[in-house]
Structure 1
């Protein structure tokens, strides 16, 4: 089947899904950003290094005003480069900050409520762990993508399930909705995920903690994905 990719629309107010062949990177912020301007520079380096489908803002243990302040700065960097931005968990904050959509987990705001708040043009993705049933439900409800994982051990977030490669193959066989692979993904281990059919690779530490910087990490992913 044709894979789908994310593209930002001309107005900067929303996102659309386009057919696009290669697997793409889906960046997620680290859970804590102390130096906002410094991180904005690192984000610009990552986005300038190679194709990135979108950025998810996933900040933990900070107040809403701080999330809004960080988001405002990162939106500037991302939208200037045509990269859409999704808020993690919080459709209300996505709406308040002008994000292009939201990513919701199984314990967060339900998909239907997120869609009601954000409207039909917003991009909404849903965590499905390793559940075929949850993925089917999300797709049938209208989710713009489903996320499977974790595929590898990760220190970013405690994984509730370990997803098998076969779930990506199955999804590509039966669904048109794009799928995101997440969990401990690095340039060294990503090729099986690409070969199995992941449309996006969601990455955190492998980019922001790369010893040569986030730009080098994006280039390494691009090379690894192209060789799959």
Structure 2
């Protein structure tokens, strides 16, 4: 994958009506979000396909667009002509080696990694298989109930010190955490509530981006 701007990822919140998700994505894409990750673990395959097509139109190339978990939905949306740039995969999803073969060398592929064992597995992969690691959670978060033990900023720093790939911090991150996470070694931050829960998602996106800078 060629160089991609990684500092600010918006992960969508499936608890919201999709019309509101689309509004938030539009605001974030126009206000400095680097990557939009569509995450919806409740919809049917057809629902996800339709929503990915809709969001691809909303984003319109203003941010890199990836889909959580569902490589099949990425492929189907691409086949329908949508611009979908890649996928973010968890440890229990389709193996990243298979995802790379299916999505091709130009796709952006992220992989969740929360332990030193995960980092070792990432380091053992052929270069170019995975582009970044999603590392967390930094703090407990209501948007993902099965998250691992929170790392905190110091725990994140210790874990990523020898990371084989760029690391994106995720989990309960607020604007006041961004500079400290960058100093701790983050290549970017991923947020849900800090943007989706804000009264003004565009202003919240700009504030996060400014905090990174």
- TM-score norm. by structure 2 comes to 0.85
Quote the Cα distance in structure 2 between the aligned partners of 1:62 and 1:133.
Answer: 31
Establish whether residue 185 from structure 1 lines up as the match of residue 165 from structure 2. Answer: no
Name which of structure 1's ranges 215-224 and 164-173 shifts more when overlaid on structure 2.
Answer: 164-173
Cα deviation per residue 1:140-192 (whole Å; 9 max; x = unaligned)? 31311111100111110021232253565456654462111000001123332
Establish whether residue 133 from structure 1 lines up as the match of residue 107 from structure 2. Answer: no
Q: Count how many residue pairs are aligned between Structure 1 and Structure 2.
A: 204
Q: Where does 1:54-203 land on structure 2 (aligned, <5 Å)?
A: 54-81=35-62, 83-98=63-78, 99-129=84-114, 131-141=115-125, 142-158=129-145, 159-166=147-154, 168-169=156-157, 173-175=161-163, 177-203=165-191
Q: Would you identify which runs of 4 or more consecutive aligned residues in structure 1 move more than 6 Å? A: none
Establish whether residue 222 from structure 1 lines up as the match of residue 209 from structure 2. Answer: yes
Gap change, CA 1:125 and 1:163, over 3 Å in 2: same
Runs of 5+ consecutive residues of structure 2 not aligned to the other structure: 79-83
Quote the Cα distance in structure 1 between the aligned partners of 2:134 and 2:61.
Answer: 26
Quote the Cα distance in structure 1 between the aligned partners of 2:21 and 2:135.
Answer: 27
CA RMSD of aligned residues (A): 2.2
- TM-score norm. by structure 1 comes to 0.80
Aligned equivalent of 2:3: 17
**Structure 1 residue 133: Cα displacement:** 2.3
- What's the secondary structure of 1:73's corresponding residue? helix
